[in-house]
Amino acid sequence: MSDKLIVFDTTLRDGEQSPGASMTHEEKVRIAKQLEKLRVDIIEAGFAAASNGDFESVRAIALAIKDSTVCSLARANDRDIARAGEALRGANSARIHTFIATSVLHMEKKLRMTPDQVFEQARLAVRFARQYTDNIEFSPEDGSRSDPDFLCRVLEAVIAEGATTINVADTVGYAVPEQYGEFIRNLRERIPNSDKAVWSVHCHDDLGLAVANSLAGIKIGGARQVECTINALGERAGNCSLEEVVMAVKTRKDYFGLDVDIDTAQIMPASRLVSGITGFVVQPNKAIVGANAFAHASGIHQDGVLKARQTYEIMRAEDVGWAANKIVLGKLSGRNAFKQRLHELGIELDSEQAVNEAFARFKDLADRKSEIFDEDIHALVSGEQGEAGEGAYRFVALAQRSETGERPHARVVFSENGKEVVAEAQGNGPVDATVNAIESHVRSDAELLLFSVNAITTGTESQGEVTMRLSRSGRIVNGVGADPDIVVASAKAYLSALNKLQSPVEKVHAQGV
């Protein structure tokens, strides 16, 4: 048994399935490059058959990434597998991840297939996938709630067909640690060819047990691949958190006895990038990447840490990338320095005009904020391109008046399909007045589900990053906007969410029917 734990990141696939977490093509490539810097072994870049857009994103990531294996999800049918295979063509190292549900509940109610039909389809899918690559992962969906006898039959057959990784999915987050670990151990012991595959865990966090279940699958079950996401992003309550599972295995190497190749100093940059792009803010008390994770508020703890940091610290903040923010650019930085920094951050703008526009926004920001950090640069380009930036609405200017005892008033100037609109309204606060002004013209009929403000860096000079989550006709989107003025950031976030609501949805959900 290998003593290395393979880290399979699915932020771009399962993470993107979180309502509102959809990312543009360029944002996905940027995240993939950060995942490569983090040295994840496998990047699940998406579900190529979901839409042409998803296909293109998987393809772009397959071509851009050199050090990690790039993977596409595919349902267990020829069309999905062929799309995955085509999208991955040209990758340095490619994997096809195919799956089909194996629990009685899913087979009967969702697939309306008999166990024999599922068995056959799983086998044929793996056989077909081998035309494209020898690196094939098979997942029994709802595996943790499947009958072990049936699973043994299916998994033995898919390994015989050439599946090299078996991923026991706890699709609905139902598992509990010991039982899940023993479930996997039992499968491995009973399946005669189980040693021909790497066993993997894929856990959802519905009961808050995703990390614990993954660790039990590793320790008790002998799994040597963990599927996880940055900031635990994922369907419903999310997936197993990459930062938590990796740091648990590293910090407790005495217990797990495993190595991971992750460059942990890249964890914080990855966390910030994913949260900035998706608008899913990290809670302050979140392990490893939350703002309080290494803050010692109580006097007793501070005293202990000052005397000997190991008294209350089991990890070093700097080891996971909590180094003091680095000032990277300023008011006097020129276009070339800016372009070079974009490149170093993995931000590839698709034309010189896009670089010029981003540079103009940078100059504008540098006039108002003396120190510019990497986070500011990411925020500067997020939401300004792709689906969001090319949408109908663009922010132009804002004036607002608020005084104690008076009802705030906002005047927002924005463009709609290139035509300037001026809208004014009052509200019970400056942000409310701003949204009312936009809505007085747009009349989107959308419901605001979430409004949150977060400081991108430290100090009151920081840009505020605002997330607005809108819902309309069952569709949920997140808009993100950043500016040193949080009312302006709110207007940008609201317009960005409206743009996303307008973009067409032609995407197939992998785990739908």
CB of 227 to Zn ion, least distance (A): 8
16 backbone φψ class: left, alpha, beta (φ>0; ψ -120 to 50): alpha
Is there a contact between 63 and 54 (Cβ–Cβ < 8 Å)? no
Partner whose footprint covers residue 288, from Zn ion, ligand KIV, none (CB < 5 to 8 Å by kind):
none
Does 169 engage in binding with ligand KIV (CB under 6 A)? yes
Tell me phi and psi for residue 169, to 5 degrees.
-80, 130
Does 227 engage in binding with Zn ion (CB under 5 A)? no
Kindly indicate which of the ranges 7-15, 146-154, 339-347, 363-371 contains the residues binding Zn ion, using the contact rule CB under 5 A: 7-15
Does 14 engage in binding with ligand KIV (CB under 6 A)? yes
Point out the residue whose Cβ comes nearest to Zn ion. 14
Among 9, 14, 36, 244, binds Zn ion (CB under 5 A): 14
Partner whose footprint covers residue 99, from ligand KIV, Zn ion, none (CB < 5 to 8 Å by kind):
ligand KIV
CB of 200 to ligand KIV, least distance (A): 9
Of residues 210 and 497, the one with the C-beta less far from ligand KIV: 210
Does 205 engage in binding with ligand KIV (CB under 6 A)? no
Strand 372-373 relative to strand 393-401, pairing: unpaired
Of residues 106 and 378, the one with the C-beta less far from ligand KIV: 106
Binding residues for ligand KIV restricted to 85-114, rule: CB under 6 A: 99
Does 11 engage in binding with ligand KIV (CB under 6 A)? no
> What is d(CA 456, CA 59) in angstroms, rounded to the nearest whole number?
31
What three-state secondary structure class fits 82?
A: helix
Is there a contact between 243 and 255 (Cβ–Cβ < 8 Å)? no
- Element holding 325 (H helix, E strand): none
> What is d(CA 375, CA 349) in angstroms, rounded to the nearest whole number?
17
Kindly indicate which of the ranges 10-18, 146-154, 244-252, 326-334 contains the residues binding Zn ion, using the contact rule CB under 5 A: 10-18
Partner whose footprint covers residue 141, from Zn ion, ligand KIV, none (CB < 5 to 8 Å by kind):
ligand KIV
* Count, residues near Zn ion per rule CB under 5 A: 1
Tell me phi and psi for residue 470, to 5 degrees.
-115, 150
Within 108-232, residue ranges assigned H as helices are: 115-129, 148-161, 177-190, 210-219
Binding residues for ligand KIV restricted to 170-199, rule: CB under 6 A: 171
Q: Which residues contact 504 (CB under 8 A, 6 or more apart)?
A: none
In the chain, count of helices (H) and strands (E)? 18, 16
CB of 170 to Zn ion, least distance (A): 8
Nearest C-alpha neighbor of 450 from the set 413, 410, 490, 419 = 490
The interface mask with ligand KIV, positions 343-382, x = CB under 6 A, is: ----------------------------------------
Of residues 233 and 498, the one with the C-beta less far from ligand KIV: 233
Kindly indicate which of the ranges 27-35, 117-125, 166-174, 290-298 contains the residues binding ligand KIV, using the contact rule CB under 6 A: 166-174
Partner whose footprint covers residue 139, from Zn ion, ligand KIV, none (CB < 5 to 8 Å by kind):
ligand KIV
Kindly indicate which of the ranges 8-16, 145-153, 185-193, 381-389 contains the residues binding Zn ion, using the contact rule CB under 5 A: 8-16
Of residues 234 and 383, the one with the C-beta less far from ligand KIV: 234
Kindly indicate which of the ranges 111-119, 165-173, 453-461, 486-494 contains the residues binding ligand KIV, using the contact rule CB under 6 A: 165-173
Does 170 engage in binding with Zn ion (CB under 5 A)? no
Residue 511, amino acid: Q
* Count, residues near ligand KIV per rule CB under 6 A: 12
CB of 61 to ligand KIV, least distance (A): 18
Rounded (10°) CA dihedral 212, 215, 219, 222: 130
Residue 353, amino acid: Q
CB of 329 to Zn ion, least distance (A): 39
CB of 119 to ligand KIV, least distance (A): 18
CB of 99 to ligand KIV, least distance (A): 5
Nearest C-alpha neighbor of 511 from the set 50, 11, 12 = 50
Cβ-based neighbour number of residue 72 at 10 Å: 34
CB of 271 to ligand KIV, least distance (A): 21
Structure letter (DSSP) for residue 132: T
CB of 72 to ligand KIV, least distance (A): 12
Strand order in the sheet with 393-401: 393-401, 409-416, 419-426
Does 80 engage in binding with ligand KIV (CB under 6 A)? no
What three-state secondary structure class fits 5?
A: coil
Structure letter (DSSP) for residue 450: E
Does 141 engage in binding with Zn ion (CB under 5 A)? no
How big, in percent rounded to 5, are the helix, strand and coil portions of the chain? 45, 20, 35
Among 106, 202, 378, 409, binds ligand KIV (CB under 6 A): 202
3-state secondary structure 324-377: CCCEEECCCCCHHHHHHHHHHCCCCCCCHHHHHHHHHHHHHHHHHCCCEEHHHH
CB of 240 to ligand KIV, least distance (A): 11
What three-state secondary structure class fits 144?
A: helix
Of residues 16 and 465, the one with the C-beta less far from Zn ion: 16
Q: Which residues contact 19 (CB under 8 A, 6 or more apart)?
A: 476
Contacts with ligand KIV by CB under 6 A lie at 14, 73, 99, 139, 141, 167, 169, 171, 202, 204, 510-511
Contacts with Zn ion by CB under 5 A lie at 14
